[in-house]
């Protein structure tokens, strides 16, 4: 009664770990979360590089922020997985990046454990690491720490967060790009990049010190900001 929850990395199929690949190949059913009603899923494309389509079971999670509906969907999926495990199937669940970072895996794991199902997590390369390495900005050097946040709704809060760490990472920028732009203009950091579609078609780096990125740049993006030598 154990399922693997696998991190697939940021998008480049070559950044799937060797162990994740082995578990994918050994699994009989691979549950792939989907938040897009059209059925598009980056995770699905990555999985298809390593296993055949018949093994894939897509599972839709609506993006409408209705907590009750989401909880119901997680529980429903957990029950389905428990049933499959009970029938002796080898099942795994995949998510993009690392399964412990802003991931549906965290909620599903809770529901599975409530039902007595064990979950083993396999780490994946997070988009945080992919973004920082793409722009060659250290997340931290000796004696430092760094901060990772969802993009906050107002510029004052963003400024405070940027000033809190030598390096700050903002995820889920999306429609809050104007907030990020305003915060960068206020702080004037040493470096500020918006990285988009890491490891995927259309991968892009915007140097925000050279001007504001277009609105579409913020979809599936990670911002990496370094203040002056870490000093405020």
Ligand X SMILES: C[S@@+](CC[C@H](N)C(=O)[O-])C[C@H]1O[C@@H](n2cnc3c(N)ncnc32)[C@H](O)[C@@H]1O
Q: Taking Cα atoms as reference points, which of 140, 149, 190 lies closest to residue 167?
A: 140
Question: What is 161-207 written as a DSSP string?
Answer: HHHHSSEEEEE--GGGHHHHHHHHHHH--SEEEEEESTTSTT-EEEE
Residue 56 phi, psi (nearest 5): -85, 130
Rounded to a whole number of angstroms, the minimum distance from the CB of residue 203 to ligand X is: 8
CB of 91 closer than 8 Å to CB of 1: no
When asked if residue 102 is in the footprint of ligand X (CB under 6 A), the reply is yes
Task: Considering only residues 30 through 69, tell me which ones interact with ligand X, judged by CB under 6 A.
Answer: none
Say whether residue 168 binds ligand X (CB under 6 A). no
**Which listed residue (27, 41, 103, 227) binds ligand X by CB under 6 A?**
103
Considering the complex, what minimum distance in angstroms separates the CB of residue 213 from ligand X? 13
Residue 27 sits in the site that holds ligand X (CB under 6 A) = no
Nearer Cβ to ligand X, position 62 or 86? 62
> Phi and psi dihedrals of 107, rounded to 5?
-75, -40
Q: What is the rounded distance in angstroms from the CA atom of residue 59 to the CA atom of residue 115?
A: 19
Contact 154, 164 (CB under 8 A): no
221 lies in the site for ligand X, by CB under 6 A: yes
Stretch that binds ligand X, among 20-28, 63-71, 91-99, 181-189 (CB under 6 A): 91-99
* Site track 1-20 with ligand X (rule: CB under 6 A), x = hit: ---------xx---------
Applying CB under 6 A, which part among 23-31, 64-72, 98-106, 208-216 lies near ligand X?
A: 98-106
Work out which of 32, 98, 161, 168 binds ligand X, going by CB under 6 A: 98
**Under 8 Å between Cβ of 33 and 95:** yes
21 membership: H or E segment, kind and range: helix 18-26
> Is residue 127 within the footprint of ligand X (CB under 6 A)?
yes
Piece of the chain touching ligand X by CB under 6 A; list 44-52, 72-80, 115-123, 217-225: 217-225
Edge to edge, what strands does the sheet with 91-95 contain? Answer: 56-60, 29-34, 91-95, 2-7, 118-122
Q: Tell me if 149 contacts ligand X by CB under 6 A.
A: no
Q: Is 75 a residue that touches ligand X (CB under 6 A)?
A: no
Q: Which of 175, 178, 98 is nearest to 131 (CA)?
A: 98
Residue 35 φ/ψ, nearest 5 degrees:
-115, 5
> At closest approach, how far in Å is the CB of 102 from ligand X?
4
The binding site for ligand X (CB under 6 A) comprises: 10-11, 95-98, 101-103, 126-127, 171-172, 197-200, 220-222
């Amino acid at each position: 009664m154990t399922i693997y929850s696998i991190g697939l990395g940021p998008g480049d199929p070559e950044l799937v770990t060797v162990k994740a690949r082995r578990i994918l190949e050994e699994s009989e059913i691979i549950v792939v979360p989907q938040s897009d009603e059209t059925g598009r899923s980056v995770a699905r494309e990555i999985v298809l590089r390593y296993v055949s389509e018949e093994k894939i079971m897509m599972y839709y999670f609506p993006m409408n922020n209705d907590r009750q509906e989401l909880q119901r969907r997680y529980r429903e999926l957990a029950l389905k997985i428990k049933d499959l495990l009970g029938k002796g199937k080898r099942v795994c669940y995949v998510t993009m990046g690392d399964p412990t970072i802003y991931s549906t895996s965290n909620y599903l794991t809770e529901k599975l454990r409530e039902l007595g199902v064990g979950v083993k997590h396999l780490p994946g390369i997070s988009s945080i690491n992919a973004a920082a390495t793409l722009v060659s900005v250290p997340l931290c050097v000796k004696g430092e720490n760094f901060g990772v946040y969802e993009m906050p709704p107002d510029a004052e809060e963003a400024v405070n967060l940027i000033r809190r760490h030598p390096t700050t990472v903002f995820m889920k920028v999306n429609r809050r790009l104007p907030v990020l732009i305003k915060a960068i203009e206020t702080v004037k950091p040493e470096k500020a990049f918006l990285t988009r579609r890491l490891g995927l078609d259309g991968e892009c780096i915007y140097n925000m010190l050279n001007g504001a990125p277009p609105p579409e740049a913020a979809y599936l993006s990670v911002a990496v900001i370094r203040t002056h030598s870490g000093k405020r």
